[in-house]
């Protein structure tokens, strides 16, 4: 599972199953067709969310 969190607050913004990176480095959750500005978020790969 992929978790996208806000860099400043560390809150979960979105979750997904598959991740790719666009040419500009932005992470793209391919199963949801959503991408994020890399400077604003952190990407984590986890087994589950507690």
Length of the chain: 50
Tell me the per-residue pLDDT of 2-44, one tens digit each, with 9 for 90 and over. Answer: 999 999 999 999 999 999 999 999 999 999 999 999 999 999 9
Q: Kindly tell me if the per-residue pLDDT of 50 is higher than 90.
A: no
Domain ranges for the chain: 2-45
Cβ-count burial of 4 within 10 angstroms (0-12 exposed, 13-18 middle, 19+ buried)?
buried
């Amino acid at each position: 599972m992929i978790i996208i969190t806000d860099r400043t607050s560390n809150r979960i913004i979105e979750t997904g199953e598959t991740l790719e990176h666009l040419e500009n480095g932005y992470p793209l959750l391919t199963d949801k067709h959503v991408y994020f500005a890399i400077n604003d978020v952190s990407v984590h790969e986890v087994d589950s969310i507690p």
